[in-house]
Each structure stands twice: as C-alpha cells, then as structure tokens.
Amino acid sequence: MNKKVRFGIIGCGGISYYHAEAIICADDAEMTCVYDTYTPNIEKFVEKYSSVRVCASVDEMVNSSDVDAVVICTPSGLHTEQAITAMQKGKHVVVEKPMSLTLSDADRLIITAEETKTKVCVISQLRYSPAVQEMKRAIDIGALGRIVAGSLSMKYFRTHEYYEAGGWRGTWEMDGGGALMNQGIHGIDMFRYLMGPVDSLYGFARTQTRRIEVEDSGVALLEFKNGALGTIEGYTTCYPGYARRIEICGDQGSMVLEEDSIIKWDLPIEARVPVGIATESEGASIPMAISYEGHIRQIANFVDAILRDAPLMADAASGRPPLEIILGIYESSKTGQRIFF
C-alpha cells in the first residue's frame, strides 16, 4: 500500500464536495480522479479541484492503478451495484447512505465486503460528533440508569423545486423513499446507535404536500430490545424547518441533543463537551447548509483503517439497521401491522 490512500469519486453532485474536502483534510489521502454521467457536474467539480483526472466510466475508475478507494456519491438506487463493482476490483469503498434500497441488496454488499476483504464504510457522519460520542459514553457506563424513552424529531422543509431539480429525488426507484430514507436516515442511524436495537414498531408514511412518489411525512412508535419505548418523526414539509432533536431519558438521568450540540445534560456525571449552546445550522431547510466536520472525521477513520487496520466506527454492516427500521416503517404503514425485527 502507498503511504497515501488514493481516492476516486463517483458522482459529482453536492455531497461530493464534502468528500473532496474531507480527503484534502486527511493527512494520508489524496483525490486522483472523478466520474459523473452529467457533464455540467464534472465541469463544476474540476473547476474547483483542477488537479483531478476525469474518468470516462465507472469501469475505468475501478480498474485504475492510481485508485485505492472509491467514494460513491451517486443517486441511492445505484449505490449497491457500484460498491460491489468496486470491491470486486479490489478497491476499498466509501458509500453514502442509504447503502442499498432493499435488505437483500444490503446483505449482498456486506457479504461482498467480507469475501473481498476490502474496507467499506457507510457514511454515518453524525456518529463522529464529539457530542454524540459523549452521549454514547454516558449510556455505555449506565449514567442514565434504565433507559425508558427516546425520541427523534426531524421536522425539515424541502421545496417543490428541490425535488424537481434532481429527477431521481422523490422516486421509489432511485431514492428508495422520502423524508425518512433520504433526509432522515442519518438521524435514524444516530438514534439507533444511541438507543440500541429495535424489537418492533408501528409506522405511518404519508405524502401530504409534495408532488413526489414517496413520503414527505413519516412517524413511528418503537419498542427497543432493552425495553425502552421511542418515537421517530421525519418530515420535509414543515415550514420553515427546525433543528433535528434527540431526547433520551432514563430513570436516573436524561439528555437532549439538538443537531450536534448537547443542550440538556441532567446526569450524575460531568459532561466532557460544552452543554447548553445550540449549534447554528440551516440544514433543516437548506440541504447543503451542513458542516463538513463529520465527513472529515469519518474519512480520517477510513484512511486509518486502510493504512493501519484501525477499527471502523461505521463499517458495511452498520448501514443495515437504519435501513431495516425505515423499510419496517414503510411496511407497517402499508399493512397496518406491527413489524417485528
């Protein structure tokens, strides 16, 4: 292995810039090439990052000798096949969420990672926040006592124009879902990471105001394996959009996270991060108004895993549980039945 991990990026839409900046910030990484089917995206990307080479196809990239790892930033419906293609060529993979649109595809991706012995990380940038890690520490040492309740609120706003600007958005085939699958999956991943495995749920998914195939509103009532109860709310039709909020309550203490800041810490231990200062973020209403910091931390972890075999905080298998929850909500909404995991 070279002293630096050499990255190629597939897909040059808005999220690709987060990965490009994260690669630039990593000490042992460099970006060598990019590919996109849409020429204006390529032109805009290369104007900013002029040193990168433009590939003519995915096959060219995954067969390139100057690429060690591939970052997949394409529409969601393409993630699984592109990840598998790259792994089968011996490339390590970073894949944006959702890793797949079905559990069977997620399992194929996970199995391929195991068979090829490649490093795969599913973007779960919210886990890497110091505030989230401090909450995880508090849970792991039992500072909350018995956890009895958890809630996740994601009351976002996306315009009609947002969906119309990308032909794949809001479709079952390429987006796989709406407010929960696209906008909400990162929050659901973080919520499950903190609360633990889900035992069962009831869910509702509705399309209330947006001209899309998928839901712009979704809610669920959950029972966790540890006996706690919880709720998930995900919307893209709540004007003007409000900060993501997670509340976790135990019989000996509770804590509240807003975006990536702890605003309440009612626990018998001291917090090792600032408490009570809300994060300034417009991401609830402006898709790209989010910080690069989570991607920077996750790419650094990924590079460390490739070069020094460090453990991945979010490996291929970690991308399955939030997908399972979201698909469970869709199934419950469709059938009216409680879904067990």
- pLDDT for res 109: 98
Across the beta sheet with 147-155, what order do the strands follow? 261-266, 254-258, 245-250, 147-155, 229-235, 217-224, 198-206, 339-340
pLDDT along the chain (341 residues), means of 10: 88 96 96 96 96 97 98 97 98 98 98 98 96 98 98 95 84 95 97 98 97 96 98 97 96 97 97 88 66 94 97 97 98 98 95
CATH fold of the domain at 5-124+294-315: Rossmann fold (3.40.50)
User: Angle at which helices 79-88 and 103-116 pack, to 10 degrees?
Assistant: 10
Q: For 126-286+321-340, which CATH class?
A: alpha beta
Collapsed DSSP state (helix, strand, coil) of residue 69: strand
- pLDDT for res 283: 67
Tell me if 121 sits within 8 A of 305, measured CB to CB. Answer: yes
Cα separation, 161 vs 88, whole angstroms: 38
Integer-rounded Cα Rg, in Å, for the chain is: 20
- pLDDT for res 277: 85
**Sequence-ordered list of residues with C-beta below 8 angstroms from that of 181, at least 6 positions apart, any chain:** 76, 98, 101, 175, 214, 326
| Burial group, residue 308, by CB count within 10 angstroms (0-12, 13-18, 19+) | exposed
- pLDDT for res 3: 86
User: What's the Cα-to-Cα distance from 279 to each of 41, 97, 243, rounded to whole Å?
Assistant: 31, 23, 9
User: What's the Cα-to-Cα distance from 200 to each of 228, 296, 326, rounded to whole Å?
Assistant: 11, 34, 12
Domain limits, the chain: 5-124+294-315, 126-286+321-340
